Chains A and B, each alone.
Chain A
Amino acid sequence: MAGVPSKLRYRPFNLGRWLTWGLTALVMVVLPQIFTQGYAITLMSQMGIMIVFALSYNMLLGQGGMLSFGHAVYSGLGAYVAVHILNLAGAGKIWMPLSLLPLVGGLGGAFFGVLFGYVTTKRAGTTFAMITLGIAVLVDTWATMSRAFFGGEQGVSTDRVIGKPFLGITYGPGVQVYYLIAVWCLVSMALMYAWSHTPLGRIANAVRDNPERAEFIGYDTQRVRWFTLIISAFFAGISGGLSTINFEIVTPDVVSLSASGGVLLATFIGGIGFFFGPILGAVVFSFFAVALSNYTNAWQFYLGLFFVLMVMYAPGGIASIIVMQLQLIARKRFWRIAPHYLAAGASGLVLLAALILTVEMTYQLSENSANGTVMNLFGVNFDCAKALPWAVAVGLWIVGGILFNLARQRVARVWGEIQTELLQARA
């Protein structure tokens, strides 16, 4: 865990934290005014949902040290509970304002957290991971087979416009739904942040780091894991309830293994060591998973490559990279390394261009060859069956590779110098 937030905790008025939260809220309010298209709004709504989901997952992985392959079980079942309640409300059988529906999802998620969690949290480590995998496959298969609760493969659809409009809000238009999601997202973020400072949150860290000692000082580790999982499942369920509202349909996809794998990837990419890591991860992951396929057939390739490179070179996630820079800024050394970053970034862009060119031309030749070899990339038309574009690609690889390597060495050297300086200053 980074020392930054905890160091500032005991000050009476924490300006930095208020600024961060205030800015986050402001960005959430302003974004749909800038990107007004329906698709952009639904993409942002999905990012908000994913943020809640990824944060709830990090409660397990980052704070509780529990690697789960089946977290989508809780968000998904929460979504199913929410959709059934919404349908009952729509039919006028029960009273339920739409704005509170995510809470229903959360309670649904928590219920299954109590149920499955009791079984899974008996063990930790690899055994825990494997039981979650088993349960995830069982629930997934069950969902496609059972028609009564899950509606089979076609799922359960619903209509979110229920009851009378309140202050002109019907929740028909996507932007109203976006703001509902944004509010729930902010509230959940704040609650989960607060949780990490409660005694239970602290003990969860202790159980993660050293279960034996936690047991010696009198805590029941199994119970700590179980409670952590229930709370995590509650927030996962909230994200499920939000997705019910956003899509107005719940299908077995929501409990699938790929959904569980997705949240693991998103959280890890963002960085499990920091509270805000999963938030960044959720945004990046949603972009890759939802939006990138609009631009290229090779989206799965880029997704895989991005993850592999992240794991290899930035295992602390995006958050750790940012925090490292923040430390430099705080110690007034950032501007010394910034030009080298710029150089590395620029040469990195050349490499990226080389990669995109190579991958896109390969895909054009293999999967899209029926539509000819003429293609368009970055507004330039060219024929990828000719040698020239390939020569350009090779050139970009070589130039980019050499420059990037040089820049990387510079960055590493300056970084090392700064660290030595800081150490000496401390000594």
Chain B
Amino acid sequence: MFNLKRAFGALLLSSSLFAGYAHAQTVKIAFTDPLSGFLGPVGVNNMHSWQWIAEVANQEHWAGKLKFEIVPYDNKLSPQETLNVLKRVEDQGIRYIVQGDGSSVALALSHAVTQYNERNPGKEILYLNYAAIDPLLTNGNCSFWHFALDADVDMKMEALTSYLAKDKNIKKVYLINQDYVFGHDVAKAAKEDLARMRPDIQIVGDDFHPLARVKDFSPYVAKIMAAGADTVITGNWGSDLALLIKAAHDAGLKANFYTFYAGTTGVPTAMGSAGADHVFEVAYWNPNNKKFAGADIVKGFKKKYKDDYYTMASYSGIKYLADAFKQTKSTDPVKVAEAMEGMKIQSLNGQEEMRKTDHQNQQELIIGKWVKVNGTTVKFDQENTGYGWETVAEIPAYVGTLPTSCQMKRP
């Protein structure tokens, strides 16, 4: 840590003196997410994902001679702390920042980066958001300096319901979500999409519970059972999801769970066999995709970090940057941001496009199902549970493509 500081000082000097492409050897990318506290494990896994892809990119010379380096900062999942981190990033002359966990943090960071760039021309910072998926980020609150790599809530729900809609057995859907912005986004999108695609489906419950405060979910499960639901849609993550699925299993609830985050660190271990065959997840990728694209990366990651690679947005993100560096022959965030608008890249889930109007990445989405590893469709398990995600549907990008209300202010 201590010699890093000196290195930052040197970088500060060099980047202000020679901002050109030829002289800069290493591009530093600040990574900030909770690295301690209850979401720490998720943040650490994501940090490793970025570090791993940076390593792969350096070996494979994605950006020619240019090297990537990820510099982690703990933001303790707090918007205020994130702004402190941003101050340090500014001081150290790092021009790229990556963040993902928590829409509240993302909105604060996007706001602060935009403000900073307005107040400090020539020192602009570019913000890659790989996991915060509040639609506000690319609609009402969109910013030229913010690029969303993950599909937002509405897009994911669109993909999920287009898959659900084909299942004629679904009659009664129950919505249960955490009582904060994201949970409300999920519930709203689910209601709208189901009403449009399958008006015959009855929504038999729409519950919100406080974030990360409930220990015992059995009263909620009792309610779901009393309502006779055959399907549950939830945006819950972390222990709120694992506890819900465990309680459902204990009470013998047979409903299917459609989730956003059942594959994030910690949930698979806690869920274990309790989720087998009836938990689904919508995501942009999973290691057991039909072509097993990215298998080497998953294996290398497992070997090095003894953990599972699932944050594929790190691959897309570095790819976008590498292509933009090559195209512009510059690492200046202003030029890179302009180049990234409308750019197309080849990622692990096929072609992706960074839509110009709102900086929302357009990509294929995948529905996965939690099943036992079978060696054919499911080769990779998660967290050594013996269970992994089987790809049950690949939803092409156009399905999730939605209009935007973004009025982008360009410099």
Stretch at the interface among A193-201, A247-255, A277-285, A345-353: A247-255
Which of A43, A155, A174 makes the CB contact (< 8 A) with B104? A155
The A-contacting residues of B in range 1-42, CB under 8 angstroms, are 1-3, 35-36
Which of B73, B80, B91, B182 makes the CB contact (< 8 A) with A249? B80
Q: List 11 A-B contacts (CB under 8 A).
A: A39-B88, A144-B211, A153-B103, A154-B103, A155-B108, A248-B83, A253-B79, A297-B74, A300-B36, A371-B51, A376-B3
Closest chain B residue to A370, Cβ basis: B305
Stretch at the interface among A19-27, A88-96, A224-232, A288-296: A288-296
Which of A157, A251, A295, A367 makes the CB contact (< 8 A) with B78? A251
Identify 18 new A-B residue pairs, CB closer than 8 A, beyond the known A153-B180, A290-B84, A370-B304.
A38-B87, A38-B90, A39-B84, A41-B87, A145-B179, A147-B181, A154-B107, A154-B134, A155-B108, A157-B111, A159-B115, A174-B87, A247-B80, A249-B79, A293-B36, A293-B76, A367-B44, A370-B306
A378 to B3, CA, bound (A): 8
Q: Find chain A residues with CB under 8 A from B81 CB.
A: 290
A159 to B73, CA, bound (A): 25
The contact string, 1 if C-beta is below 8 Å from chain A, for chain B 227-258, is 00000000000000000000000000000000
Closest chain A residue to B307, Cβ basis: A370
The contact string, 1 if C-beta is below 8 Å from chain B, for chain A 119-157, is 000000000000000000000010011010000111101
B91 touches A39 (CB 8 A): yes
A377 to B305, CA, bound (A): 22
A152 touches B180 (CB 8 A): yes
B83 touches A247 (CB 8 A): yes
Q: Find chain B residues with CB under 8 A from A370 CB.
A: 48, 304-307
Minimum CB–CB distance from A330 to chain B (whole Å) comes to 40
Which of A39, A153, A299 makes the CB contact (< 8 A) with B181? A153
Tell me, yes or no, whether B210 is within 8 Å of chain A by CB. yes
Q: Find chain A residues with CB under 8 A from B181 CB.
A: 147, 152-154
B36 touches A299 (CB 8 A): yes
Per the CB 8 Å criterion, the residue count for chain B at the interface is 43
Minimum CB–CB distance from B223 to chain A (whole Å) comes to 19
A295 to B91, CA, bound (A): 16
B179 touches A37 (CB 8 A): no
The A-contacting residues of B in range 92-114, CB under 8 angstroms, are 103-104, 107-108, 111-112
Which of B2, B210, B213 makes the CB contact (< 8 A) with A378? B2
Tell me, yes or no, whether A379 is within 8 Å of chain B by CB. yes
Q: Find chain A residues with CB under 8 A from B3 CB.
A: 376, 379
Q: Find chain B residues with CB under 8 A from A42 CB.
A: 83-84, 87
B180 touches A297 (CB 8 A): no
Tell me, yes or no, whether A416 is within 8 Å of chain B by CB. no
- The B interface, classified by DSSP as helix, strand, loop or mixed, is helix
Which of B48, B107, B119, B210 makes the CB contact (< 8 A) with A157? B107
Q: Find chain B residues with CB under 8 A from A144 CB.
A: 179-180, 210-211
Q: Which of A41, A174, A247, A290 has the most C-beta atoms of chain B within 10 angstroms of its own C-beta?
A: A247
Minimum CB–CB distance from B73 to chain A (whole Å) comes to 7
A247 to B78, CA, bound (A): 12
A42 to B85, CA, bound (A): 10
A46 to B80, CA, bound (A): 11
A376 touches B115 (CB 8 A): no
Q: Find chain B residues with CB under 8 A from A172 CB.
A: 119
A159 to B115, CA, bound (A): 9
- With contacts A251-B108, A370-B48, A370-B305 known, is A294 near B115, CB below 8 A? no
Q: Find chain B residues with CB under 8 A from A371 CB.
A: 51
- With contacts A38-B91, A39-B84, A159-B115 known, is A145 near B1, CB below 8 A? no
A294 touches B88 (CB 8 A): yes
Q: Find chain A residues with CB under 8 A from B2 CB.
A: 295, 376-379
Q: Find chain B residues with CB under 8 A from A300 CB.
A: 36
B84 touches A155 (CB 8 A): no
Minimum CB–CB distance from A65 to chain B (whole Å) comes to 31
Closest chain B residue to A376, Cβ basis: B3
Closest chain A residue to B112, Cβ basis: A248
Minimum CB–CB distance from A158 to chain B (whole Å) comes to 9
B1 touches A253 (CB 8 A): no
Q: Which 5 A-B pairs have the closest CB atoms?
A: A153-B180, A154-B104, A370-B305, A39-B87, A39-B88
The contact string, 1 if C-beta is below 8 Å from chain A, for chain B 46-79, is 0010010000000000000000000001101011
